Structure 1
Amino acid sequence: MRQLAAIMFSDMVGYTALMQQNEQSAKEKRRRLKQVLETSVSGHNGKILQYYGDGALSIFNSAVDSVKCALLIQQTLRQEPKVDLRIGIHSGDISIEEETIYGDGVNLASRVESLAVPGSIFISEKVFDEIKNQETLSAREMGYFEFKNIIRPVRIFAIDNKGLVVPTRDVLRGKTKEPTNRLAVLPFVNLSADAENEYFSDGITEELLNALTKVNGLQVTSRTSAFAFKGKNTDIREIGIQLNVDKILEGSVRKAGNRVRITAQLINAADGYHIWSENYDRNLTDIFQVQDEISSIIANKLRENLTAKEHEETLVKVPTQNLEAYTLFLQGLHYHNKITPMDVKKAIACFEKAITLEPDYAQAYAMAAAGYTFLGATGQMQPKEAFALVHLYSDKALQLDNSLAMGYAAKGSAYLLYDWQWQQGYDALLKAIELNPATTGAHQMLSFYYMIIGQKQEAVTIMEKALQVDPLSLLVNKSLVDAYNHAGRTDEASKQVEWLLDLHPQLPVALELKGWCAGHKGDWQQAAEIFEEVHRLTKHPLKGLTSLGCAYGKLGETEKALACISKIERRQAEEPGVVLDADLAMIWWSLGEKDKAFYYLFLCVEKRMGPVAIIIEHPLFKVASDDPRYQLLKEQLNLVEYI
């Protein structure tokens, strides 16, 4: 018999040793444990399935009941005569045959219990989701852990009601895998007299981060998540939990004229202990040597299977001898990472100025290609013009340095979004991820590729991998939600959106995702209400209307949907460089006007707008495969072999 249950493992600590010291005392404590377990479990609608030595396995129909039961057990056993007990709870599918219990959920619950300490109750994230709104229960996050025979890291919480033990992460052991070296590079603080030099300290941080991604056996958190803590006084241990890392590199940069002082510290995330620190006072001309020195030291302190002899390698190449070009490059990075059309255009201008000063500046070519990819993909520039420049700049970047992940990522994006050369795009993106696993933009494009060719579970898997190295990234979370929805995993999509909204309650993109999740579940009224709020937050009468128009169409509110179309057409006329045909196709489709929808879909093909390939596979806009227009779209998109 299969069923969904909350599974509780409870284990008496030190029983074997106590038996050797005082057998009578050990037996009395075990009898007390059994009595408390039987009374508490039955009183919370649970069932003890089996005793094993000094522990027990119980199941409950309700996760809330299981935690309340565990709380009563621990509070009772913390009183004299005291019994040291560990409790772990997980919720999952189980099979029961002749009082024997099987299933992955049982295995995971056992692992959670093994991680706990005497007097504590540890729960998995699944259980936490069930109890987090209970006023009488409180929990504290312990972070992610990798358990033996469990594929993905598991997020663990400790119940922290009065009377319970809540340990620090560094004392936890359990049935975990050998620790993986995970590092986050926090933004180095700008200590220069001129606040405008912040671009320089941010750039140095990013350069160090990219260098460390080259170290085998070291997982480096992507820039987006690491920079989420910029300007915040967050405790190092909390950062370690949120980013799921065990080491953190932080520091400061002070630039004055042609001199620079860089201070760097490597910190153990579990307890805040400083493993290593150093100051560097150098001429600006030595900046790349300093970066390489810091990267090599960190690499040798964190490298797996560290030997007595340190590895000697160059992690930082000298990209240019022209400091003015390098300064422009760092300014370009500063603008590029703001992720707005206006700032990306400023970034491209900086990269192109750097190229003018240093014609062989490979990184500047790669980043300029990335900028034009953004403009072409978001309809902020005519695709033909944008992607011609993407190819031009990425080809030059890779000709100068074929180890640049960003060059391959930009090239792969152009193949997918404009050229529709699917295999070439796939190969380029895989190469980008191989060179730098923290290039999560390449993960997003690869997920896009999988959704287009119908391999929707693979789309989810690649974004779950991206989330491990960039857990706080808005774009990564958005792409994961999109992948979940495409794969029909709407509950997981909704859960991910709620987590995102906990971080950014009024973020329009996150709210819009929540609206789409409601639509996927068929609640278009709720979706419309959310999209109306999103439109209000854009503070522009002609923007943020596509999703709202779709919701109105699905609700049969034709006049409101047509009003959205009218405003989008007006914006198209006022901003001729912006391409909005895909938006119009989606709203017409929602209205049931398939002929008009196809008209705009074919316009997208004519203008080579990449999103058309995914719109026709979207669960809400899926074109019937026997419609001849679907076949024609597939032919023009070079996707016939994937039908």
Structure 2
Amino acid sequence: MRQLAAILFADMTGYTALMQENEQLARTKRQRLKEVLEATIPQFHGKILQYYGDGSLSIFNSAIDSVHAAIEIQQQLQQSPKVDLRIGIHTGDVIIEEEAIYGDGVNLASRIESLAVPGGVFVSEKVFDELRNQEHIQTRELGYFELKNIKQPTRVFAIANNGIVVPGRNEVRGKTAAPINRLAVLPFVNMSADPENEYFSDGITEELLNALTRVDGLQVTSRTSAFAFKGKNDDIRDIAIQLNVDKVLEGSVRKAGNRVRITAQLINAADGFHIWSETYDRKLDDIFEVQDEISAIITNKLKENLSFSQKTVPAIKSSIKNITAYTHYLKGLHFKNKLTPGDTRKAIECFKQAIALEPGYAEAHAMVAQCYCQLGTQGQMIPHTAFEIGHQYADKALELDDTIAEGHVAKAMTYLYYDWKWQAAYDSLQKAIELNPGAVVAYDLLGFYYITKGQKAQAVKVLEEAEQIDPLSPIIIRSLGMTYIFAERFDDGIGQAEKLLEMNPEMRSAIELKAWCIGLKGDWQTALEYFKEFHRLTNHPLKGMMGLGHAYARLGKIDKAMECIHKLEQRELDEPDSVIDGDFASIYLALGNLDKTFYYLNLCIDKRLGPVAYFIEYPPYRVVKADPRFSALKHRMGISTEAFPSK
């Protein structure tokens, strides 16, 4: 029998040694442990499945119950005669046959227990996600650990309630492989008198980060996660735990006139020791040489552990000589990274100003292309116009320099979102990742590709890899959450939404993600309340209608659903450049009107709204897939029939 369960491993420490020293005391402690387990675990609705040596394995239907049981057990065992016990908990799929239990979840729970300390309770990130809103359970993050026979680094938390032992990271570190050659480049601080120079210090950081990403054997945390600590005074060791790195590069930039002073220091995360620091006073025209020099020095400092042979870092490659053009480019990155349509348009202007001064600026061409593709995908521009421009700039970027990942990413966006040239998109993304393994936007797009091909498990795998590279990126966290929905792992999707809401309790995309997960689990009434909040936060009477209308229809509130449709019709009149046919399709789908659903899906294809190939894989569209008209939709987008299994 397969089921989802919270798995609790408990293991008595020092038992073998105690048996040799005092057999009677060892047996007494073991008997006391058994009595406490058998009294406590059923009290919290758990079941002891196995005893083995001086340990036990129990399962619970609820992760919260399992943690309450673990706390109670440890608090009781602190009393005389004290029993030193390690507890590890994880939730996952298990297979139970008679009294035997199998599954990857069991293996991971066992590894987490072996990592724990006497008197401690360690839990996986999945368990922690269940505990986020439990006021009576305190936790402390210990960071990521490389566990035996577990492919990906595992994020571990310690329960920190009274009476529970909470170790420092270093006390645990000796039990497992610590991260090696993982570097975070924190945002360099703007020390200039003019706060407007913020874009310049951010740009220096980004250029260094891109150069170091190309160093073979060095894993560099992506930009979004590193920039999550901008303006904060977090302890370097805490930052390293959250980003799973062993080295941190930080610094400052002071720009005045034609002079720039850059200070940089490389820090060992475990103890805060400064491995290296340097200050550079240079003319602004020499900025590329300074970046190159810093990158080479850092590589040299880490070379003892790096796997590549030449022990050198690729130079920061730039197709430009004009410092003013470079300044416009950095401003463009500043706006592009804000992600809103208005800021994306500002970014386009900055990148175009850079190109006007330096026509051969490949990176700027690539960024213009990406920005237009983004506007076309979001329905903020007529797709035909947006992607025609996107193609032109992407082609020019690759003509100027085909060794930068950004150009291949831009080309992949045009293939995926507009041309529906699936193989060409895949090839472009593979090339981008080959050129820059830290280019998480390429992983995000690759996840989109796999969803359109019906390969949901592969999409999950790719996005989970991206989250390892960029663990604090809202875009990646949300994309993985969406991918969990496609894979019908709705609880995991809720966990991703909770991560986002922890960053920002009013993040619209997180609230929408959580609403869909809850609704697709079957609770459309609760989902409706979240969709109402999402609509409120759009601050527009005609926006945020799709989820709202879908939920009303699912609840049988037909008049309310039709009211949402009428508001969408009004928005079409008010915003003729917007493309919202997918919103209509979703509401009519929930109303059970397949004729209207197909009508609007075909309009999406007519208007080349790229995401239609993606969202028809959403679980509610299963009924659409069973309709004979569905194969015609796929044919129009160049997707083979077998790519979309009906079950």
TM-score (norm 2): 0.91
Aligned-pair distance for 1:344? Answer: 0.8
Structure 1 residues 148-187: Cα deviation after superposition (integer angstroms, max 9, x where no partner): 1012322211122334432221332365346343222111
The residue correspondences of 1:481-492 to structure 2 (distance < 5 A) are 481-492=481-492
The residue correspondences of 1:251-270 to structure 2 (distance < 5 A) are 251-270=251-270
Cα distance change of structure 1 residues 504 and 412 upon mapping to structure 2, 3 Å threshold: same
Aligned residues of 1:191 and 1:252 also touching (Cα < 8 A): yes
- Distance in 1, matches of 2:553 and 2:259, equals 62
The residue correspondences of 1:97-108 to structure 2 (distance < 5 A) are 102-108=102-108
Aligned-pair distance for 1:303? Answer: 4.9
1:441 equivalent in structure 2: 441
- Distance in 2, matches of 1:262 and 1:484, equals 43
Amino acid paired to 1:450: Y
Partner-residue secondary structure (3-state), 2:338: coil
Cα distance change of structure 1 residues 84 and 301 upon mapping to structure 2, 3 Å threshold: farther
Cα distance change of structure 1 residues 213 and 14 upon mapping to structure 2, 3 Å threshold: farther
Aligned residues of 1:613 and 1:637 also touching (Cα < 8 A): yes
Partner-residue secondary structure (3-state), 2:297: helix
1:347 equivalent in structure 2: 347
Aligned-pair distance for 1:65? Answer: 6.0
More moved, 237-246 vs 535-544: 237-246
Partner-residue secondary structure (3-state), 1:172: helix
Amino acid paired to 2:124: S
The residue correspondences of 1:298-447 to structure 2 (distance < 5 A) are 298-303=298-303, 305-306=305-306, 311-447=311-447
- Distance in 1, matches of 2:93 and 2:639, equals 39
Structure 1 residues 327-380: Cα deviation after superposition (integer angstroms, max 9, x where no partner): 110111111111111111111111111111111111111111111111111111
- Distance in 2, matches of 1:205 and 1:465, equals 23
Partner-residue secondary structure (3-state), 1:281: strand
Aligned-pair distance for 1:129? Answer: 4.6
Cα distance change of structure 1 residues 199 and 543 upon mapping to structure 2, 3 Å threshold: same
Aligned residues of 2:48 and 2:57 also touching (Cα < 8 A): yes
- Equivalent pairs: percent with the same residue? 58
- Distance in 1, matches of 2:70 and 2:483, equals 37
Partner-residue secondary structure (3-state), 2:620: coil
Partner-residue secondary structure (3-state), 1:193: coil
The residue correspondences of 1:271-286 to structure 2 (distance < 5 A) are 271-286=271-286
Structure 1 residues 296-324: Cα deviation after superposition (integer angstroms, max 9, x where no partner): 22233345744899712333113311011
More moved, 219-228 vs 77-86: 77-86
The residue correspondences of 1:183-332 to structure 2 (distance < 5 A) are 183-303=183-303, 305-306=305-306, 311-332=311-332
Aligned residues of 2:303 and 2:311 also touching (Cα < 8 A): no
Aligned-pair distance for 1:110? Answer: 3.0
More moved, 220-229 vs 253-262: 220-229
- Distance in 2, matches of 1:627 and 1:307, equals 54
- Distance in 2, matches of 1:559 and 1:234, equals 51
Partner-residue secondary structure (3-state), 2:392: helix
More moved, 148-157 vs 106-115: 106-115
1:632 equivalent in structure 2: 632
Aligned-pair distance for 1:134? Answer: 5.3
Amino acid paired to 1:577: D
- Distance in 2, matches of 1:549 and 1:278, equals 58
The residue correspondences of 1:72-91 to structure 2 (distance < 5 A) are 74-75=74-75, 85-91=85-91
Aligned-pair distance for 1:517? Answer: 1.2
- Distance in 2, matches of 1:615 and 1:83, equals 54
Amino acid paired to 1:299: T
Structure 1 residues 66-97: Cα deviation after superposition (integer angstroms, max 9, x where no partner): 54555455556656776655443444555677
Partner-residue secondary structure (3-state), 1:312: coil
Amino acid paired to 2:556: G
Structure 1 residues 471-506: Cα deviation after superposition (integer angstroms, max 9, x where no partner): 222221221121111111122112222232232212
Structure 1 residues 395-420: Cα deviation after superposition (integer angstroms, max 9, x where no partner): 11122221211111110110011111
Cα distance change of structure 1 residues 113 and 614 upon mapping to structure 2, 3 Å threshold: closer
TM-score (norm 1): 0.91
Q: Does structure 1 residue 8 correspond to structure 2 residue 9? A: yes
Aligned residues of 2:334 and 2:347 also touching (Cα < 8 A): yes
Amino acid paired to 1:349: E
Partner-residue secondary structure (3-state), 2:193: coil
Aligned residues of 1:7 and 1:92 also touching (Cα < 8 A): no
Cα distance change of structure 1 residues 590 and 93 upon mapping to structure 2, 3 Å threshold: closer
Partner-residue secondary structure (3-state), 1:540: coil
Amino acid paired to 1:473: S
More moved, 599-608 vs 330-339: 599-608
Amino acid paired to 1:290: V
The residue correspondences of 1:487-502 to structure 2 (distance < 5 A) are 487-502=487-502
Aligned residues of 1:329 and 1:350 also touching (Cα < 8 A): yes
1:549 equivalent in structure 2: 549
Structure 1 residues 9-66: Cα deviation after superposition (integer angstroms, max 9, x where no partner): 32424964x78xxx53x545533431331221122136483353xx423425465565
- Distance in 1, matches of 2:512 and 2:206, equals 30
More moved, 341-350 vs 590-599: 590-599
Amino acid paired to 1:221: T
2:58 equivalent in structure 1: 59
Cα distance change of structure 1 residues 593 and 65 upon mapping to structure 2, 3 Å threshold: closer
Partner-residue secondary structure (3-state), 1:319: coil
RMSD: 2.8
Amino acid paired to 1:200: F
1:512 equivalent in structure 2: 512
1:50 equivalent in structure 2: 51
Amino acid paired to 1:497: A
- Distance in 1, matches of 2:155 and 2:558, equals 45
- Distance in 1, matches of 2:502 and 2:640, equals 42
1:480 equivalent in structure 2: 480
1:614 equivalent in structure 2: 614
- Distance in 2, matches of 1:552 and 1:393, equals 43
Cα distance change of structure 1 residues 436 and 313 upon mapping to structure 2, 3 Å threshold: closer
Aligned residues of 1:387 and 1:414 also touching (Cα < 8 A): yes
Amino acid paired to 1:394: A
- Distance in 2, matches of 1:522 and 1:185, equals 43
Aligned residues of 2:6 and 2:89 also touching (Cα < 8 A): no
Aligned-pair distance for 1:206? Answer: 0.9
- Distance in 2, matches of 1:407 and 1:558, equals 47
1:38 equivalent in structure 2: 34
Amino acid paired to 1:39: E
Aligned residues of 1:265 and 1:275 also touching (Cα < 8 A): yes
More moved, 488-497 vs 113-122: 113-122
Partner-residue secondary structure (3-state), 1:7: strand
Aligned residues of 1:617 and 1:623 also touching (Cα < 8 A): no
Aligned-pair distance for 1:204? Answer: 0.7
Aligned-pair distance for 1:460? Answer: 1.2
Aligned residues of 1:200 and 1:330 also touching (Cα < 8 A): yes
Aligned-pair distance for 1:136? Answer: 4.8
Partner-residue secondary structure (3-state), 2:380: coil
The residue correspondences of 1:562-581 to structure 2 (distance < 5 A) are 562-581=562-581
Cα distance change of structure 1 residues 135 and 516 upon mapping to structure 2, 3 Å threshold: closer
- Distance in 2, matches of 1:308 and 1:477, equals 31
Aligned residues of 1:190 and 1:201 also touching (Cα < 8 A): yes
Aligned-pair distance for 1:245? Answer: 2.3
- Distance in 1, matches of 2:490 and 2:227, equals 30
Cα distance change of structure 1 residues 32 and 257 upon mapping to structure 2, 3 Å threshold: farther
Structure 1 residues 549-608: Cα deviation after superposition (integer angstroms, max 9, x where no partner): 222233333332233222222222222222222222222333233223322222222221
- Distance in 2, matches of 1:98 and 1:575, equals 62
